[in-house]
Amino acid sequence: MRYFFITIFVFCLFVFYQGLKKNPRDIPSNLISQEIPEFYISSFNGPNLSHIDLKKDEIKIVNFFASWCPPCTVEHKQLQSLSKKVTTYGIAKKNKNKDLSKWLGKLGNPYKNIGMDYEGLVSIEWGVYALPETFLIDKNGIIKYKHVGPIMQRDLEKLENLIRKLR
Amino acid sequence: MKYIILFLNIFFVNANAIEPNEILENKKLENIAREIGKELRCLVCQNEDIQNSNADIAKDLRTLVRKKLSEGQSKNEIIKYIHSRYGDFVLFSPPLRIDTLGLWALPILFFFVLTFLFFRKR
């Protein structure tokens, strides 16, 4: 009986130790391997943006951001470099056109088209819970990967590899 | 007496983060919205429901719940929709599935094992 308890104790210790390695802020996306959700929103610098635009036969990234979000400013440089390799769409959450225009004027515009999610409902449709979040979408409009938080220099290689694999 | 009740309110009143402009005029729907709010976890807070959280995402979810209720959707439909977007993490009680069976079964199993060990004859 004593060995039975020792086994259970060691097993629990192992499970809890594995749990310590996990990041509690990492929430797996429910939309991976699924089609992009339906949405229609007005656009900042072009025609309206909808899920139909994102189903076009090309690999693309969709970046949820806002000019009022400091980590979005941090990732902007990396996004500029990614946009040279893959079509980049933006969805600005609760952003005023005036503020966005000023922000893009200062930092540059890596986006092919920017959807304006004034109420934050499109972000919920995509399961976004914090800004910035970036989705990688394949040629068939299927979500392949989600990056939560700013894309840093060290994340670029991983993202570029994923894009290469999808080609 | 008045002051005692006011003082006790500080400790016992059911505080929540709902802002006046969020509240629905239809009391029945508002009550359902609050029930839903207590079942959904705020995604960026530490174990807080969306009813009691001031986070931006919690406010957005409260607004969405009320919008969908006003459109005639039921409590289950709304919870199912939000679950489909954010996964199990958004629910306070995880659904009973094969991969979550351990969560539900282990406490019961432990209860029986410990009861057995406690009462067995030495």
pLDDT band at B122 (very low <50, low <70, confident <90, very high): low
Q: In a mutagenesis test of the A interface, which of B44, B56, B78, B110 is the best target, namely the one with the most A β-carbons within 10 Å?
A: B56
**What is the structure's pLDDT at B5?**
74
How far is A156 from chain B, CA to nearest CA, in Å?
25
| Domain positions in chain B | 2-95
**Cβ-contact A62, A135 below 8 angstroms:** yes
- CB–CB of A29 and B87 under 8 A? yes
Q: What is the pTM of this model?
A: 0.83
Residue A100 pLDDT > 90: yes
In eight-state DSSP terms, residue A35 is B
- CB–CB of A129 and B44 under 8 A? yes
Average pLDDT, chain A: 90
**What is the structure's pLDDT at A8?**
84
Chain A: which residues have CB within 8 Å of chain B?
27-31, 119-121, 123-127, 129-130
Q: What's the rounded mean pLDDT across residues A44-61? A: 86
Read off the pLDDT of residues B17-33 as tens digits, 9 standing for 90 and up: 788 888 888 899 999 99
Top pLDDT among B33 and A30 is at B33
Q: In a mutagenesis test of the B interface, which of A129, A133, A143 is the best target, namely the one with the most B β-carbons within 10 Å?
A: A129
pLDDT band at B13 (very low <50, low <70, confident <90, very high): low
Q: What's the rounded mean pLDDT across residues A75-86? A: 93
Residue B15 pLDDT > 70: no
CATH classification code of B2-95 = 1.10.8.640
Residue B77 pLDDT > 80: yes
**What is the structure's pLDDT at A10?**
92
Q: What's the rounded mean pLDDT across residues B31-45? A: 92
* Residue A153: C-alpha distances to residues A69, A106, A136, A158 (Å): 19, 21, 17, 10
Which residue, A140, A152, A131, A138, is CA-closest to A65? A131
How far is B63 from chain A, CA to nearest CA, in Å?
9
Residue A115 pLDDT > 70: yes
What architecture does CATH give domain A31-166? 3-Layer(aba) Sandwich (3.40)
pLDDT band at B1 (very low <50, low <70, confident <90, very high): confident
In eight-state DSSP terms, residue B91 is B
> What does the DSSP assignment read for B18-86?
--GGG--SSHHHHHHHHHHHHHBB-TTSSS-BTTS--SHHHHHHHHHHHHHHHTT--HHHHHHHHHHHH
Residue A164 pLDDT > 80: yes
- CB–CB of A27 and B57 under 8 A? no
How far is A131 from chain B, CA to nearest CA, in Å?
10
Which residue, A71, A120, A90, A155, is CA-closest to B64? A120
Environment class of B42 (CB within 10 Å of its CB; exposed 0-12, middle 13-18, buried 19+): buried
Q: In angstroms, how far is the first alpha carbon of chain A from the final one?
A: 58
**What is the structure's pLDDT at A73?**
96
Residues from chain A contacting residue B64 (CB–CB below 8 Å): 121, 124
Quick one: residue B43, left, alpha or beta (phi over 0 = left, psi -120 to 50 = alpha)?
alpha
pLDDT band at A99 (very low <50, low <70, confident <90, very high): very high
φ, ψ for residue B111, nearest 5 deg: -60, -45
Q: What's the rounded mean pLDDT across residues B41-53? A: 89
Name the residue of chain B whose CA is nearest to A124's CA.
B85
Average pLDDT, chain B: 87
Give the whole-angstrom CA distance, residue B45 versus residue B57: 10
| Domain positions in chain A | 31-166
The predicted complex's ipTM stands at: 0.83
- CB–CB of A27 and B56 under 8 A? no
